Structure 1
Amino acid sequence: MSASPAEAAYRRPTALAVFLIIAGLIGVWAAFMLTVDKFHLLENPGAQLSCNFSVLVGCSKNLNSWQGSLLGFPNPLLGIGGWTATIAVGVGLLATRGRFARWYWIAFNVGVVLALVLVIFLITQSLTVLNVLCPWCMVTWVVTIPTFWAVTLYNLKEGNIPLPERARAFFRTLYGWVPLITIVCYAIVAVLAQLQLDWIHRAFI
């Protein structure tokens, strides 16, 4: 059976698919580790977790705070579900010859945006309220930021989010800069953490 013209013109975003699978696996792993640590704290509130390295670097304070259970259950459960969905999208991109429906991309992009909003909130709370850097949380930050940029810019350049052709051309160019944009975002977080917590000197004290 021959492919339709639309299928023939479609270029599978292999790099994006592979990235989503890898990011999803890392995100699931971090969320799982946080979930296990939460179980340890529920069994023994005074437990010393493997992620607790110092006063500044640890998971216990985050997991025991209200910020760690925003919807009434531990945030890592959101991560397990969300990153599993990310892996599914990546696998789907590799497995299918045709395009995903626009509504599917938009729904996924909404989920990615919500994930970034949650991460920004948690970064802010970690730096300004809890005054602690949670290792597994930071792993989640590391994969959420580039996932947001990669998915959003892909949808903008492909027209899944409707835009004039000139704007799409701009986002096609910007899409190639996702790694640099991500590094800039990491740098911003690192600078804010340094200004707020002086993490370079205190990380392992």
Structure 2
Amino acid sequence: MSATEVQAPRVRGFAIFTIIFGAIGLFAAFELATEYIKKLQQPDYIPNCELSVLVTCGPNMDSPEGSLFGFSNTILGLMAFVAPIAVGVALLAGARFAAWFWWLYRAGLALGTVFVFWLFTQSVFTLGTLCPWCMVVWTVMLPLFFFTAFRPEAVGYVEASPGVKKAFAAVNSWAWVLVLVSYLFIAAVAQFQLNWLAEFSR
């Protein structure tokens, strides 16, 4: 059995994961975009994500933070989440990307992750809300980044020295821990600031 055949199941698993999480993120961004458009058309429209004073997306969409670059952040989501879906489909089809592509793709995921943490702080500390669809985006963005950040060198998508490959493989094996710690951090900060457990226990 060749090395390519051995690696194939691992490539398929990563590709399917990337497609699924990208599709979930795209769906959440699409829901936010459609709710935003409906609210523009009907100022008194109640978004489908408005569950309570705390759990709502209305204030987020109406705020300056919701249009950081002069247009709705939802447009960024609609564009950005196409990338992981395309990468996953290409990997399933047997594509091999150049090293520069993996660096560019990971840079995009890193920027998206930084943006997610910034949006989280603005939502919790400035707006005092938890936006359901936004939280879906946060939930998929973090694993998309952490499970991709060190993988190309770790599994041989990108050529690297044995030492670098070993180091990246070691960090990559802890990707799920980094995701879990990020989730726990977000949940703890939101609880400390907003006491969301009391809201959900009603």
Shared fold by TM > 0.5?
Answer: yes
State how far apart, in whole Å, the 2-side matches of 1:33 and 1:204 are.
26
Coordinate RMSD, CA, aligned = 2.2
2:7 pairs, out of 11, 21, 38, with 11
Q: Structure 1 residues 195 and 32 mapped into 2: Cα distance closer, same or farther (>3 Å)? A: same
The corresponding residue for 2:65 is 67
* Segment of structure 1 superposing worse, 42-51 or 25-34: 42-51
State how far apart, in whole Å, the 1-side matches of 2:91 and 2:157 are.
15
1:50 pairs, out of 48, 51, 62, with 48
1:190 is the counterpart of 2:157: no
Q: Structure 1 residues 24 and 192 mapped into 2: Cα distance closer, same or farther (>3 Å)? A: same
**Code of the aligned partner of 2:131:** C
| Superposition TM-score, scaled by structure 2 size | 0.90
1:21 pairs, out of 14, 19, 22, with 19
* Segment of structure 1 superposing worse, 43-52 or 133-142: 43-52
Consecutive unaligned residues in structure 1, runs of 5 or more: none
Would the aligned equivalents of 1:20 and 1:90 in 2 still touch at CA under 8 Å? yes
| Cα drift, residue 133 of structure 1 | 0.2
Q: Structure 1 residues 156 and 193 mapped into 2: Cα distance closer, same or farther (>3 Å)? A: farther
- Once the two structures are aligned, what percentage of the paired residues are identical? 37
Would the aligned equivalents of 1:10 and 1:99 in 2 still touch at CA under 8 Å? no
The corresponding residue for 1:129 is 126
Give the secondary-structure state (helix, strand or coil) at the position aligned to 1:11: helix
The corresponding residue for 1:202 is 199
| Superposition TM-score, scaled by structure 1 size | 0.88
Give the secondary-structure state (helix, strand or coil) at the position aligned to 2:52: coil
Would the aligned equivalents of 1:20 and 1:147 in 2 still touch at CA under 8 Å? yes
Consecutive unaligned residues in structure 2, runs of 5 or more: none
